[in-house]
Structures are given as structure tokens and as C-alpha cells.
Amino acid sequence: MTASDTKASTGDIQDKEIVFSKVLKAGSRIYYIDVKRSRKEDLYITITESKRISAKEEEVPRYEKHKLFLYKEDFDKFKEGLNEALDFIEQAE
């Protein structure tokens, strides 16, 4: 088994836990919204922000990532808080 085989098989294992995925490109940022299944079969959401931080185009690209985990018991509170924030912004404009 080669290093690339190991990487591919590891990726396959990780991909099996993702049951839904959405990619949102927004300027220099990319957002990944994934629904995953836990070992206990519970569904949860991960939101990952990936931002390119390389200073020059000729450099090897480097990315800064931030990840947020949302669990089922928090979905309603998160939706409510996010909707309140969005409503506030819409009213302020």
C-alpha cells in the first residue's frame, strides 16, 4: 500500500460520515456546511470557514480554517439567534 492509497482510504472513511454537504464561495472565503452522522447515529452540522491567507499569488496557497459544530439539541436556539441577527441587520439597512 502506498502513501496515496492510505490517504485515499482515510478520505473514504471520513466521507462516509458526511450525509449532506454544501459549499458557499464568498470572496476570499469558502464556507463548507456539512451534515454528519456521529458514532451514535445522531446528526450534527459542521460549518467550516476557509480563508486564503497567502500574501502573494506566487506563494504556495495557505488557508486559515475555523470550524463550528452544531448539535441537534442546539438547532432551535441557533436558528432563533441567527434569525434575530439577520432581522436586525435587515432593519438597520
Domains in the chain, CATH or no CATH each: 18-92 (3.10.450.700)
Report pLDDT digits (tens) over 25-74: 998 899 999 999 988 889 999 999 999 887 666 678 788 999 999 999 99
Report pLDDT digits (tens) over 12-26: 444 458 999 999 999
Cβ–Cβ < 8 Å for 31, 47 = yes
Residues contacting 68, CB < 8 A, separation 6+: 46, 47, 48
Overall pTM surpassing 0.85 (yes/no): no
The residue among 69, 30, 73 whose CA lies nearest residue 53 is: 30
3-class secondary-structure state, position 91: helix
